[in-house]
Amino acid sequence: MAKDVDKIFRKMKTLLVTGGAGFIGSELVRQAVSRGYRVIVLDKLTYAGDLERLEGVKDHIVFYQEDIRSPEAVEKIFLRERPEIIFHLAAESHVDRSILDPSPFLSTNVDGTSVLLTAARKYGVEKFINMSTDEVYGELGERGKFTEKSPLNPNSPYSVSKAAADMLGRAFFRTYGLPVITVRASNNYGPWQYPEKFIPVVILKAILDEKIPIYGKGENIREWLHVSDCARALLKIMEEGQPGEIYNVGSGEERRNIEVAEEILKIMGKGRELINFVEDRPGHDFRYSLDWGKIKRELGWEPTVKFEEGLSKTVRWYMENRDWLMRKREALESLWRKVYRRGEK
Ligand SMILES: NC(=O)c1ccc[n+]([C@@H]2O[C@H](COP(=O)([O-])OP(=O)(O)OC[C@H]3O[C@@H](n4cnc5c(N)ncnc54)[C@H](O)[C@@H]3O)[C@@H](O)[C@H]2O)c1
């Protein structure tokens, strides 16, 4: 009985999700709503944000189109909604864009995080879950894994801005006692990902029978985590994670980029001749790999979606939601011209 009351009480909690109209944020919002939490979304709706992702839950959330860099806007939301849990996911998130222009990355990812942490400190929260990335650790060779104790060694303007935000959160825990929890997740994939990221780019280009740009020889290795598993991990961390702790969230599903592209082409029944190796991304990290034993051991979370199964469902989703993909395409042409122009081979 006491346990049930506790459960009901927990479900009454108010969650503020920044970046809730983004790829991972919207999956987190959908899962939190389905579990009965009260959810507030704060999102600026940059090119990467899209309310269509929240269509199915729009009557169950409160949405604010605001900028996390604005202390006035953020304070207004804290005052009005009194969130108990903060999930901070809003960010500039694309490495290639950070190489073209680092400044929005520093401003949103560092200044914006500082604004949110400051408001959380002023109004008080039970947990501030700060979404970081495996990229803050830097790159690995063919062997080894990063644990939560590995030093940070970020290499791109994106990962440097995320490392700064990550460390800022930890400083607020250490200095002010704000209950910050840091989450370092590996590469996510799944439905609704903006098609500037690797997997939806490959799918989009293959649908159009256009050349698929692959950096270098496609040998770089990423650890692929299905977005539904990532969101489940975030909720688990909210419910049972300890303030001040860091949790790596990975899958063990490591693949070379070329293997991922070939698998997608196979699923779609398209030929390998679509693959086009282009000059490598400057500073391209070779491999990321997380040791996520801590979250498994301490919180009992583990991923459930096997990569091959998740990938074929993801391809199917994009084929069925072709209109959404095509609507994003036009805006991407100029990015692709800048990013992949560097010496097509
Ligand atoms: N996608 C991945 O593979 C991955 C892996 C590890 C960590 N992360 C981190 O997870 C978080 C979410 O990633 P994603 O892939 O969903 O990103 P995304 O680019 O799809 O979404 C980011 C969201 O933040 C919003 N936003 C951007 N600037 C804002 C601002 N100034 N104020 C308010 N809202 C703003 C955008 O409108 C968008 O809805 C990010 O912090 C990212 O660094 C992503």
Ligand 1 centre distance from Cα of residue 48 (Å): 8
Cβ 45 under 6 angstroms from ligand 1 = yes
What pLDDT shows up at residue 345?
44
> What does the pLDDT read at residue 334?
85
Q: What is the pLDDT of residue 82?
A: 97
Q: Is the CB of 23 under 6 A from ligand 1?
A: yes
pLDDT at 337: 86
- The 3-state DSSP class for residue 187 equals strand
Confirm whether 142 is a catalytic residue: no
Does ligand 1 come within 6 angstroms of the Cβ of 50? no
- pTM, 2 dp: 0.96
Q: In what order do the strands lie in the sheet with 254-256?
A: 187-189, 221-226, 254-256
Give yes or no for a contact between 335 and 289, defined as CB atoms under 8 angstroms apart: no
Tokens 């063990």 locate to 252
Nearest CA to ligand 1 atom 21: 22
Q: Assess contact for 251 and 186: CB atoms under 8 A.
A: yes
Query: What residue's CA is closest to ligand 1, atom 11?
Result: 89
Strands 254-256 and 221-226, bridge-based pairing:
antiparallel
Contact 260, 187 (CB under 8 A): no
37 is catalytic: no
Radius of gyration of the chain (CA): 20
Marked catalytic residue, from 43, 50, 135, 223 = 135
- Ligand 1 centre to CA of 6 (Å) is 32
Give all domains of the chain, ordered by start, each with its CATH number.
2-194+226-252+286-304 (3.40.50.720)
Q: Ligand 1 centroid to 112 CA: how many Å?
A: 12
The pair of structure tokens assigned to 69 is 């860099």
Sign of the torsion angle spanned by Cα atoms 202, 208, 213, 214: positive
Give pLDDT tens digits along the chain (345 positions).
556 656 665 668 999 999 999 999 999 999 999 999 999 999 999 999 999 999 999 999 999 999 999 999 999 999 999 999 999 999 999 999 999 999 999 999 999 999 999 999 999 999 999 999 999 999 999 999 999 999 999 999 999 999 999 999 999 999 999 999 999 999 999 999 999 999 999 999 999 999 999 999 999 999 999 999 999 999 999 999 999 999 999 999 999 999 999 999 999 999 999 999 999 999 999 999 999 999 999 999 999 999 999 999 999 999 999 999 999 998 898 898 888 865 554
Which residues share a beta bridge with 129? 87, 181
Distance CA(94)–CA(42), nearest Å, equals: 20
Ligand 1 pocket check for 74: Cβ under 6 Å = no
Look at the block and give the residue holding tokens 């790999």: 289
183 within 8 A of 131, measured Cβ to Cβ: yes
| Ligand 1 binding pocket includes 223 (Cβ within 6 Å) | no
